[in-house]
Structure formats: C-alpha cells, structure tokens
C-alpha cells in the first residue's frame, strides 16, 4: 500500500546561476543543477541561520531530502575574473576592515588573482523538499521562510538573485514525480511577459528533462543512473563536504512534468 508523503516545492529561475562543484586552482566550475549544499544554504538563509550555527545547520540537514527537476538547463557562460589583493604581510601593519582599506596599500604591493568562474544563464529548476522525520523545522515553517526570507536568497553566488517568485507550496503525493505533477506553478511567461513571447530568452529545454533525487526518496520512476556527489556539508566553518548518493532519470515529455 502506497502511503502519502508531504513535499514542499519551490522553483528557481534567474538570468544567471552558479552551482559550485569541487574547485581546483583558479577554476570555479558550476554543475547543471543545484546540489544539496546549495539547497540547504537557501533554506538556512530563509530561516535566518548563520554559518557559525553548526548545530542548527546539522539539524536542518538531517531533517531534509531533496529532488530537483530541471526544465531548462540554461546556456553556459564563463567569466574571466581578476581581483586585486594585498599580500598578508602588507596587512599586518595596517589592518583592513573594508575593501577600501585593502586597496589603500600601495599599488606596487598589490597582487592580482586570476580565475575563471562559470555560470548557467536562464536555467529553470523545480525543487521538492521531503522531511526525513528527524524533527528540526516543519515544512510549513520552511514555506513561510521562503515567502519572506530573513537573509537574501541567491542562486549560488551573490551576483545571482532569483528573477521569479519561488512560489513555495506544500502538496501530498505518493512519490516525488507525482508531487511535481500536481504542483501549481505559474509559467515563466506569466512573469516575464514579452521577452518570453519574443523568444529573447529560453524558458524550457526540449525533452527529456532530468529528474534527480536523493537516496531514500520514493521517486515514482526507475533511475537511469546512480552516482556519488560530494555536496553533503560536513562543516560550514571549514567548507568540508561528504559524499552522498544521487539517482537520476529522464522525463520524455511534458506530460511527465508539472509544466503547462
């Protein structure tokens, strides 16, 4: 007998997003979809939790699982990034409280950090949050927090704010797929109007649509691939992460997704 499960659903869209992966050297890459660490960070920001509050962040992590449906993977953008920074030795004698203070160091002492930062443009995702039953925050509190977040919510980086309402909503369904099917989101054209109808941005990919979910969730569809992702936060203070298991399937047509 299939039992009903409650899910909190919301959407993520922006002109730019950046879902960080393992950073090597000067390269700051992005994955095609938000990972567990990013989604937990959004919920924590909405609730007003600080990175130093390890206990509350750990409780939130233990209490939630995520599934992500990608309706538009977006186009790829790479930014060649340069930042001027003073050496540590120069700051010992002149403490810097602001960025302006840093740049008061003589130009001859400033160094330059070069990096490449990757982004996805016009990506559209739908997210389902499931409670593990481990306590922490009720889905209703998360829904209210997403409607009126205490700290700003970003799509991976501060330069990437959401461009559409998140439209958080709680539904009851037997599986993740069913939850997405019965969800009720406005189409992007409702908010973006003429720029969608004129084809100035793409809001939907051609099928199939990737659906990813965490181990332990009832997906309602057989996985095509199972892989490990290192995006389970171990500690925010030291930016350390553990591996977790993620399943992926592909939806072949719009009838299998919540789009209208």
Kindly report the three-state secondary structure assignment for every residue of 73-88. Answer: CCEEEEEEEEEEECCH
Condensed to tens digits (0 to 9), the pLDDT of residues 224-233 reads 999 998 888 8
Please give the Cα distance from 55 to 28 (Å, whole number).
29
Which tokens go with 54? Answer: 């390890």
Angle between helices 139-147 and 36-47 (to 10 degrees): 80
Collapsed DSSP state (helix, strand, coil) of residue 217: coil
110 assigned to some structural domain: no
Give the C-alpha distances (Å, rounded to integers) separating 137 from 50, 69, 216, 224: 15, 23, 19, 32
184 assigned to some structural domain: yes
88 assigned to some structural domain: no
Condensed to tens digits (0 to 9), the pLDDT of residues 136-186 reads 789 999 999 999 999 999 999 999 999 999 999 999 999 999 999 999 998
Please give the Cα distance from 43 to 9 (Å, whole number).
12
Give the C-alpha distances (Å, rounded to integers) separating 70 from 177, 212, 225, 229, 248: 13, 9, 16, 17, 11
Contact 39/127 with Cβ under 8 angstroms? yes
102 assigned to some structural domain: no
Which residues fall within 8 angstroms of residue 204, CB to CB, at 6 or more apart? 71, 72, 124, 259
64 assigned to some structural domain: yes
pLDDT of residue 180: 95
Domain containing 132: what range? 5-75+120-191+205-214+241-256
Q: Has residue 223 got a pLDDT over 90?
A: yes
Report yes or no on whether pTM surpasses 0.75: yes
Give Rg (Cα) of the chain.
20
User: How many structural domains is the chain composed of?
Assistant: 1
151 assigned to some structural domain: yes
Condensed to tens digits (0 to 9), the pLDDT of residues 207-221 reads 899 999 999 999 999
Contact 19/38 with Cβ under 8 angstroms? yes
Give the C-alpha distances (Å, rounded to integers) separating 36 from 41, 190, 227: 8, 29, 14
Name the one residue in this structure whose structure tokens are 């996805």.
Answer: 120
Of 12-26, 35-49, 84-98, 138-152, which gets the smallest average pLDDT?
A: 84-98
134 assigned to some structural domain: yes
Strand partners, 27: 24, 116
Contact 26/115 with Cβ under 8 angstroms? yes
For the four alpha carbons of 77, 78, 80 and 82, in that order, the dihedral sign comes to positive
The pLDDT of 112-140, averaged and rounded, is: 89
Residue 183's domain is classified under what CATH number? 3.30.70.2660
Percent of the chain with pLDDT over 90: 53
In the predicted model, what is the mean pLDDT of the chain? 86
159 assigned to some structural domain: yes
């Amino acid at each position: 007998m299939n039992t009903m499960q409650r899910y909190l659903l919301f959407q993520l869209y922006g002109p730019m997003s950046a879902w960080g992966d393992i950073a090597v050297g000067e390269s700051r890459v992005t994955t095609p979809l938000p990972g567990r660490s990013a989604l937990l960070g959004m919920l924590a920001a909405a609730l007003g939790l600080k990175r130093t509050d390890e206990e509350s962040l750990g409780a939130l992590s233990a209490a939630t699982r995520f599934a992500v449906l990608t309706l538009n993977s977006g186009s790829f953008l790479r930014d060649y990034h340069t930042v001027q920074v003073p050496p540590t030795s120069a700051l010992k004698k002149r403490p810097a409280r602001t960025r302006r203070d840093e740049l008061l160091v003589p130009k001859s002492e400033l160094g330059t950090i070069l990096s490449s930062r990757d982004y996805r443009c016009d990506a559209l995702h739908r997210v389902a949050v499931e409670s593990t039953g481990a306590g922490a925050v009720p889905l209703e509190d998360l829904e209210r927090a997403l409607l009126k977040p205490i700290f700003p919510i970003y799509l991976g980086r501060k330069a990437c704010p959401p461009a559409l309402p998140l439209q958080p909503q709680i539904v009851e369904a037997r599986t993740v797929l069913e939850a997405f099917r019965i969800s009720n989101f406005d189409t992007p054209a409702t908010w973006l109007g003429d720029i969608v109808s004129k084809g100035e941005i793409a809001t939907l990919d051609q099928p199939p649509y990737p659906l990813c979910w965490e181990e332990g969730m009832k997906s309602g569809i057989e996985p095509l691939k199972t892989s490990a992702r290192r995006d389970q936060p171990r500690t925010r203070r030291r930016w350390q992460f553990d591996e977790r298991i993620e399943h992926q399937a592909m939806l072949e047509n719009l009838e299998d997704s919540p789009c209208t």
